[in-house]
Amino acid sequence: MMSTGYFLTKGQIDIYGCTAFGIHLSSRHGIAYELAEMLLFAEGLEKKGLTRYVESIFYDSGSCTCNFEFTHDVEKYSKIADQIELVAMEHISQFEIFDNICHGNTQRN
């Protein structure tokens, strides 16, 4: 019998944040899928050599939107920003990048 207590909107995991590939990841309410998406995103950035451009990733559980904090090297419409956005599209359901809300293709995750 499955306990529904773990599927409440808050506190599905004990840790609300961690560091992966040198990037701090955090979820407002400790939602499991949010941390999973952020971990996959951080891994994808590492594979493309892009982790040095992302300082932190925060999933706002209230708005179901992931936000990124970039280093000063990342500028809107730059090649680096485009590459980061492509990786986000693969792994993050909904995210904000340079004041735009985007929806990723995460069905395979």
The answer to whether position 109 is within a domain reads: no
pLDDT at residue 29, as a whole number: 86
Phi, psi of 3, deg, nearest 5: -85, 125
The answer to whether position 92 is within a domain reads: yes
2-52, pLDDT tens digit by residue? Answer: 445 555 566 566 666 799 999 999 998 888 899 999 999 999 999 999 999
The answer to whether position 36 is within a domain reads: yes
Tell me how many domains the chain contains.
1
Which domain covers residue 43, as residue numbers? 25-66+78-97
The answer to whether position 71 is within a domain reads: no
44-100, pLDDT tens digit by residue? Answer: 999 999 999 999 999 998 899 999 999 999 999 999 999 999 999 999 999 999 999
Phi, psi of 35, deg, nearest 5: -65, -40
The answer to whether position 4 is within a domain reads: no
3-state secondary structure of 94: strand
pTM reported for the whole predicted model: 0.85
The answer to whether position 16 is within a domain reads: no
